[in-house]
Amino acid sequence: MSRITAAAFALSLLCASVSLTAGTLPDVWRDWKAADTPLAEIGALPGCDADVSGLPDIYQRTVALYCDVRPEGPGKVTVLVSESALPAYEARSGEFPDSAQAALHLSDLGLLMVTTWEDGTPVYQVFKENGEDITAEEGPLSAGVCAECHTDASCVNGQCGAIQ
């Protein structure tokens, strides 16, 4: 798997996986561990000028999505996982408890792509680092767009990537 393929796959793994009280981002996200994923190894997503045409559709959609948010590309990313969620994340079981789990931190954008599991079902939100919920009704920062990718065959109940 090429580095770009691995990065795109790892990004599509989450708009992040975080469980939280509906509408709020817990301050504890700053204490979560950086997961050792293919995306973490690369540390950034491909720029918008990268040729991803040879990658599977889900990867192409993922890169296009984040280029819609920032034309020069999303830049530096980190997959953060709470210590209590690491066993479920590593097992890739999709069986996350209804509590804080993980976040995809897009630090150059100052955003966290967040998933809340409610009754075992993933719900998606987007937050600024200061906790402001900026989930849009439509477009690249909408919960619906997150759900489209996170229901791909390569995903398990909202988790689309795995620990290396």
Q: What is the DSSP string of 137-162?
A: SSSTTBHHHHHHHHTSTT-BTTB---
On whether residue 159 sits in a domain, the answer given is: no
Residue 129 has pLDDT above 90, yes or no: yes
Q: CA angle, 19 as apex, 17 and 25 as ends, to 5°?
A: 100
On whether residue 60 sits in a domain, the answer given is: yes
Residues spanned by the domain of 95: 3-150
Q: How far is CA 83 from CA 20, 87, 96, 102, in A?
A: 15, 8, 13, 9
Cα separation of 69 and 162, whole Å? 25
On whether residue 163 sits in a domain, the answer given is: no
On whether residue 157 sits in a domain, the answer given is: no
Residue 21 has pLDDT above 80, yes or no: no
Q: Considering its fold, how many domains does the chain have in total?
A: 1
Given this model, what pLDDT does residue 151 score? 83
On whether residue 43 sits in a domain, the answer given is: yes
On whether residue 164 sits in a domain, the answer given is: no
Average the pLDDT over 152-160 and give the result. Answer: 81
- Going by C-alpha positions, the residue among 81, 74, 83 that lies closest to residue 111 is 74
Lowest-confidence pick of 16-25, 94-103, 110-119: 16-25
The model scores a pTM over 0.85 = no
Residue 59 has pLDDT above 80, yes or no: no
